[in-house]
Amino acid sequence: MEKHLAEFEAAGVRPVAISVDAPEVSRNLANKSGYTFPILSDTDTAVIRRYHVLHPGGAADEHDIARPAEFLIDSSKIVRWSNFTEDIRVRARADEMLAAARRLR
């Protein structure tokens, strides 16, 4: 997604990630990976639960994590597109999300 930020912006999309990790962990990941989009911390999993993507005990140390998922949410907070998977290695590609965002405009 980082490579396509300008295209996302042109399509009216602002990428944001949400993680169960503490803010400093997400900040370190962003710095190491060169991510410039926000990575929000949801350590109590309130938002993750609201979107039904909690994977209880899914981490290597068996703490709760979020299932891989991508959403396009409009300014009215309505989910307009979503992608769910059970495999952390499988994510929607940037071009798939951009195509979905362009169809929603």
User: How far, in Å, CA of 40 to CA of 42, rounded?
Assistant: 7
**Other CB atoms within 10 A of residue 87 CB:** 8
2-104 belongs to which CATH class?
A: alpha beta
pLDDT of residue 42: 95
pTM as predicted:
0.80
* In the chain, domain spans: 2-104
Per-residue pLDDT of the chain (105 residues; tens, 9 = 90+): 899 999 988 888 888 999 999 999 999 999 999 999 999 999 999 999 999 999 999 888 999 988 889 898 888 888 889 988 877 777 888 889 899 988 887
Got the DSSP string for 43-66? TT-HHHHHTT-EETT-STTS--EE
pLDDT of residue 25: 95
